[in-house]
Every structure is written in C-alpha cells, then in structure tokens.
C-alpha cells in the first residue's frame, strides 16, 4: 500500500522551455493563439503554486461574455465522435466560425493512443486556423488542483471560440464530467442495436439534449432510419431535462453534408429555448457552483498539508498502525487534535 | 443547489437518555453487554466532539487480541442472508460460540424496513444471550466522522465475539465497504440463473473467498447442484485472491443442518491458510491503513471548517459565483490564500 503522504511532496515537473508573460497570455487568449492556450491549459493541473499565480493573474479580469457554445460530444467508443467533429467542424468553419475541440478522457494518462488517433481522424480540420484541438491532461491525478477540463473549457470560453466541443470517451465518468461543463449534451449512437448493445447506460441516454444516429450512409442508412424511429419512441417516454427541454433526435453522416443543416437547426432551437427565461444563465451558474463545491475541500486539504509537521504526524501514525501500536480510529482522533494545534 | 456549508453546522442530535461512564463502557465491552455495545456504536458517527472523547478514552487501551473472525455476508436481495445468519448462527451457538450480526447498509437511513425485517428473519437467534444484533447507522452522512461500520466492527472485535457477521445489501458500495472490514468474504447465490441474472457484478464474485448456493432444499435442490457445478467451472477461471487463496464453493440450506459442518470446515481451512505466513495479520494491517487513508482528509477538513471565518468566506465566494462576480477557479484560488492565513 502506497504512502499517501508521498503525493504531498510531488516530483515537480520541469517547466517547459517556453514561457509567457501575463500580458502575452492575455493577448494570446484574445487572439486564440494555440501555443499560448496550450501553455495555459498545461498549467491547469500543475501543483506548482507559481503556475496558479500566473493563471490567477491572467484569468481574473478577462470577461467571459458567455458567447461560446460548449457542447459535450458523447457516444460509445467507435461510434465516430472524432470523425463527427471533423465533419461538423468543417461545416462550421465554412460558416466562418471558430471552434475548439477538447478530448476529455480521464484515463488519457494511461493510454494516450486514442488521442493521437483522434487527430488523424480530424485531418480535415486539424490544420485550419479556425480550429484549436487540445487533448486534456489527466484529471485523475490525486494531487491535481482541479480537473484540467473545467479550466481548459473556461480558457476556451474566455478566448471566445464560437463552439467548444468536449469529446468524451463514451463510458462512465467522463460523461458526467462533461455534462457538468457543457451547455448541450450531444449523444451519438450506432445504427442498429439497442442502447444496451452499445454499452450506453440509461443514465447517459437521459442526459442527451440531442441524439444522433451516426453513420446514416451507404448500407447502414436504412438501419439508421429504423434505429431513429426506435429511439424516438423511447425518447417520448423520457422526462424533459431540468429546464423542460425535450431531446431532439436525428440522423447524421460524416461522409456527406446532408445532415449538417438539420443538426445546426437543432442546436439553434436548443439555444433559443435555453436563452429564454435565463435558463442558460441558470445552467451555467449551477455548473460553476458545482465546480466550486466539488473542489474546495481538496484545495483546503492541500493547503493544510503544506505543513511539514502535519505530514510527519501522518507518516508516524501510519507507521504506528502498521506496527499495531495504535488503532486506526484512535490515530484519526490524534490527528484531529494535532490538525489545528 | 444546496449550500454545502450547511452541513458544517449540524443539527446536533439529542443525547440519548441513558449514558455510561468510561469504566462502565470498558466493562460492558468485556462482558459483551448489548446495551453498552449499542450505546458505543451509536456514538460512532456522532459529530459531537464529546462523544469521540468518550470513545477515545474507552477504546484506546483495550487490547484487540485478534480473536474475532469477521465474515462479510453478501448476496443479492432475497438470496436469504438473514435466514442464513439465523441458521448458521444457531449452529455456532450450539457449539458454545458467541456471535455478532451487523447489517451494513449504507442506505439504511432511507429505508429501515429491511432491517426490521432482518430481525424477524433471525427469530431463532435474536433472543439468545450468545448473540448480539445491531443494525448499522447510516454511513452516508457527509459529516460523519467515519463510517460507523468500521468502528462497530472494531468494538465487536474488542468485545471478542467469536464471529462477527457483516451482512451487506448485496449491491454495490456496501460490498466493497464490507470487503475492507472482513477477514473472509462469503457470497450467497440463488440456485439457477447466471450471476448476471442475480444482479451480482463480476467484481463482487471475484471478492468471494467462499461461495454458497443457498436454498439447496426441496424442489430447488437439483437446480442448486447444477448451479454449483457451473460456478465451480467459472471459479476455476478466476485468479486466487491477493494471498493466494482459491475460493471454495458449496451448497447451503437454512432449513436443515446438513451443510453446516461443510461450511464450518471451509471456514476453518480459510483461517488455517490465512494464519500461516502472517497473511491474516497482513490483511488486517492493510485494512487498518485503508481506513486511516480513506478518512484522514475528511477529519482534517472538519477541523479546518470549525473556523467561522473560513465558513463565512466560502458562503461569500459562493454568492459571488452565483452573482457572476467571480469565476469559480478564481474563487478557489482566493479560498486557498485564505485557508491558512
């Protein structure tokens, strides 16, 4: 069993060779400069206080106009999320819009293969000056000050991209994380097969604001139409989301342009709906509070564990537990007494 | 969205009318006095400092001889865990042994019905002087100092019951909690149907040290035999546990005495195996460290949040987030600066 106090004294990562001043960073955000955006995002889960002092100075007085549309892009592995981002991204670019694509994968520190794969599946947009693509650093790190995905999204909002796509891994935790960050949750499904077969949990289905049957082309097209009918039936049984929005569903194909306008109209109607009665403002406010509430204890603990005495006490207590000199409950009580003495 | 600082100022529960001195408690533990054991266990997740001062004084210098055998009793709802405890409990009582049965149900604060039901299903042992039955208080409470189940088990160990049965709800979290508390994980299964049908996840199957097909009587007996054969096959494919123990499997029936001796021999061989090479000592040591590691941050946070200033700052920051006066990341950084100032 590893010693948890080990994490308190991290192996500080070396600073990257390139660095930027606060002013350069501010301008970089305003200019959507990819190098500077990536520089800032890489600071997001650093544990070096200086990095957060920099982020604090850069971010605190840039206004978030609320312009960016943040869309979670979910679906089982293999459903074609990257290819979708490439195809719909091209459509948005053709309208003169600027987009950011952030693959949100909490396990990306274990296997980064998929993310390299993502870039090759986005070959048509990856070189566009209107596109910024940034795979997320791990948010699993125990010591991370805060999941980088929230901060990365925040930075892209401040850079006023028209669209920010949070591409999830389609299973479990990353979906819920993305739901807490995005305005709109877009779920891609395979033609044919129920949601069980796709490994999509009902809980994830129920988060969808827009549901697309992807790969509606070639020999899968009729199967996609049947699937759409089936999903429309089951969507009818679902409750509207918190704000009363009833999910829309449609077909999509990444090999033709024919469904882009439809999708675009779904997205417009979602934003029209959410913009009235301050729904979008309320959603974003709840997300901001959720972020704060989820992380403030961790922040406080990190501050507390800066104390060498406390860290030494924890190590001693663990040794005593191991040597059966103290019961763990008694050890916790002793620690409590020490904490603020 | 609820205010998390609300939990900091709890509605203190009223003290129960009856109270005991430290000495009375110590003697009560030595005598396995049910009223005193329940009194102590009820203190386990109290947030009143005085209660923990009492527990500290009572528990700190009573020796844990390691005599008690702690057995997690798991299985899907309806598989007959309480009836099993009643039946096998009677067998142990007939050998002159003393037992404690602790239903570990993290949701028992929501629906206590099942626990009342448990007692009626243990009607043959509930009145025995050799038996102590104590449903666990909730361990879901955010503010709880530590899950009561660990401390309840610890108290029963100090009371030197021969057997302590931790009866779980059979689904999810409580299984893992019990696995971290028990020496031995005993899984009950229904005759017929795969583990999928029983709602038992593979992860739970893999925790089993002993697996019993229950209800091997009457018209289910042949079905139980078939199920046992099937499970023996799948157990063969499983890896031994951390200590190299290969799970044993057998039949059980609560309406006859015929399988009790077999089960008893399985349990003996498990303890024989685990007692050699200090395996049991190592297992319990790891469990103790796990308990400490899982809870020390919460303990520290509670101490820190005793500060009125800090609580006020959190409330102010949340209000500012709500009023869009501050970004949540910036709010966290401000809190960090405040924490130890």
The dihedral formed by the CA atoms of B9, B15, B20 and B22, expressed in degrees to the nearest 10 = 10
Inter-chain residue contact B146 with A324, CB threshold 8 Å? no
B301–A297 C-beta distance less than 8 A: yes
Q: Which of B22, B47, B62 delimits the end of a domain?
A: B62
Determine the average pLDDT of the residues in A16-26.
86
The domain boundary, picked from B262, B277, B292, lies at B277
Give the whole-angstrom CA distance, residue A106 versus residue A177.
9
Taking CA atoms, what residue in B is nearest to A302? B336
pLDDT band at residue A4 under the 50/70/90 scheme: very low
* pLDDT tens per residue, range A276-295: 999 999 999 999 999 999 88
- Mutation target for A interface from B66, B144, B329, B337: give the one with most A CBs within 10 A: B329
Quick check: A304 and B306 CB within 8 A?
A: no
Rounded Cα distance, A155 and A62, in Å: 10
Same domain, residue pair A125 and A88: yes
Query: What distance, in Å, lies between the first and last C-alpha atoms of chain B?
Result: 29
- Burial class of A28 by CB neighbour count within 10 A (0 to 12, 13 to 18, 19+): buried
Please indicate whether residue B87 or residue A193 has the higher confidence score (pLDDT).
B87
Same domain assignment for residues A71 and A198: yes
A46 and A111 part of one domain: no
Q: Within 10 A of B337 (CB to CB), how many other CB atoms are there?
A: 12
pLDDT value at residue A304: 84
> How many Cβ atoms are within 10 Å of B41's Cβ, its own excluded?
23
| Total count of domains within chain B | 3
Please check whether residues B181 and B315 belong to one and the same domain.
no
Print the SS3 string covering chain A.
CCCHHHHHCCCCCCCCCCCCCHHHHHHHHHCCCHHHHHHHHHHCCCCCHHHHHHHHHHHCCCCCCCCCEEEEEECCCCCCHHHHHHHHHHHHHHCCCCEEEEECCCCCCCCCHHHHHHHHHCCCCCCCCCEEECCCCCCCCCCCCCCHHHHHHHHHHHCCCCEEEEECCCCCHHHHHHHCCCCEEEEEECCCCCCCCCCCCHHHHCCCCEEEECCCCHHHHHHHHHHHHHHHHHHHCCCCCCCCCCCEEEECCCCCCCCHHHHHHHHHHHHHHHHHHHHHHHHHHHHHHHHHHHHHHHHHHHHHCCCHHHHHHHHHHHHHHHCCCCCHHHHHHHHHHHHCC
Split at pLDDT 50, 70, 90, the class of B307 is: confident
B40 touches chain A (CB under 8 A): no
Q: How far apart (Å, rounded) are the C-alpha atoms in residues A155 and A29?
A: 8
Domain membership of residue A203 as a residue range: 63-277
The reply to whether B226 and B169 lie within a common domain is yes
Nearest chain A Cα distance for residue B156, angstroms: 14
Q: Where are the beta strands (DSSP E) in B183-294?
A: 184-189, 210-213, 248-251
Top-confidence residue, A171 or B40? B40
Mean of all residue pLDDT scores within chain A = 84
Nearest-CA distance A125 → chain B (Å): 31
**Residue A297 included in any domain:** no
Does A178 share its domain with A47?
no
Shared domain check, B34 and B77: no
Chain A contact set for B296 (CB, 8 A): 4, 314, 332, 335
Interface of A with B in 257-276 (CB under 8 A): none
B contacts of A59 (beta carbons < 8 Å):
327, 329-330
Least Cα distance to A310 among A8, A48, A47 occurs for A8
Tell me how close the Cα of B302 comes to any Cα of chain A, in angstroms: 9
Which of these three, B62, B80, B99, is where a domain ends? B62
The reply to whether B193 falls in a domain is yes
Residue A8 inside a domain? The answer is no
Report B:153-182 residues touching A (Cβ under 8 A): 154
Contacts of B302 in chain A (CB under 8 A): 336
Mean pLDDT of chain B: 84
pLDDT at A44 over 90: no
Q: Is position B150 within any domain?
A: yes
pLDDT at A264: 98
Report the b/e string of B105-134 with b at 16+ CB within 10 A. bbbbeeeeebbeebbebbeebeeeebbbbb
Q: pTM of the predicted model, to two decimals?
A: 0.70
Domain match, A240 and A322 both = no
Closest approach of B51 to chain A, Cα-based (Å): 12
- At B156, which helix (H) or strand (E)? helix B148-158
Which residue in chain A is spatially nearest to B65 when comparing CA positions? A324
B101 bridge partner residues: B133, B165
Contact A285 B321 (CB under 8 A): yes
- Using CB atoms and an 8 Å cut-off, which of residues 125-144 of chain B contact chain A? none
Does residue B67 share a domain with residue B57? no
B333 in a structural domain: yes
- Which CATH number covers residue A244? 3.40.50.300
Flag whether residue A335 sits within 8 Å of chain B, measured between CB atoms.
Answer: yes
Task: Please give the average per-residue pLDDT across B111-131, as a whole number.
Answer: 69
**A186 within domain boundaries:** yes
Residues B81 and B205 in one domain: yes
A318 at the B interface (CB within 8 A)? yes
B86 and B203 in a single domain? The answer is yes
Dump pLDDT digits (tens) for A93-112. Answer: 999 999 999 987 655 443 33
Instruction: Report if residue A217 sits inside a domain.
Output: yes
- ipTM, 2 dp: 0.80
- Residue B282 in any domain: the answer is no
Q: Are residues A36 and A121 in the same domain?
A: no
């Amino acid at each position: 069993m590893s010693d948890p106090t080990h994490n308190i004294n991290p192996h500080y990562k070396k600073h990257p060779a390139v660095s930027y001043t606060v002013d350069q960073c501010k301008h970089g955000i305003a200019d959507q400069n990819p190098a500077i955006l990536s520089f800032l995002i890489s600071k997001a889960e650093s544990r070096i206080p200086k990095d957060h002092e920099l982020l604090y100075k850069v971010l605190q007085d840039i206004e978030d106009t609320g312009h960016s549309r943040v869309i979670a892009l979910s679906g089982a592995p293999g459903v074609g999320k990257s290819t979708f981002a490439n195809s719909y991204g091209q459509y948005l670019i053709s309208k003169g819009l600027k987009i950011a694509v952030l693959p949100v994968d909490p396990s990306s520190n274990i296997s980064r293969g998929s993310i390299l794969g993502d870039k090759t599946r986005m070959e048509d947009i990856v070189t566009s000056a209107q596109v910024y693509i940034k795979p997320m650093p791990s948010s699993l790190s125990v010591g991370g000050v805060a999941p980088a995905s929230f901060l990365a999204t925040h930075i892209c909002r401040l850079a006023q991209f028209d669209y920010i796509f949070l591409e999830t891994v389609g299973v479990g935790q990353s979906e819920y994380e993305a739901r807490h960050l995005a305005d709109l949750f877009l779920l891609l499904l395979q033609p044919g097969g129920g949601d069980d077969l796709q490994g999509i949990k009902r809980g994830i289905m129920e988060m969808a604001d827009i549901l697309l049957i992807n790969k509606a082309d070639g020999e899968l097209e009729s199967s996609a139409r049947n699937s759409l009918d089936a999903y429309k039936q089951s969507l009818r049984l679902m409750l509207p989301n918190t704000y009363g929005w009833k999910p829309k569903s449609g077909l999509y194909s990444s090999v033709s342009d024919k469904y882009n306008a439809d999708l675009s109209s779904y997205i417009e109607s979602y934003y029209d709906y959410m913009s009235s009665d301050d729904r979008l403002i309320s959603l974003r406010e709840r997300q901001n509070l959720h972020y704060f509430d989820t992380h403030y204890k961790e922040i406080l603990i990190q501050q507390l564990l800066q104390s060498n005495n406390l860290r030494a006490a924890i190590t001693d207590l663990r040794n005593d537990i191991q040597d059966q000199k103290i019961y763990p409950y008694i050890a916790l009580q002793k620690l409590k007494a020490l904490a603020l003495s």
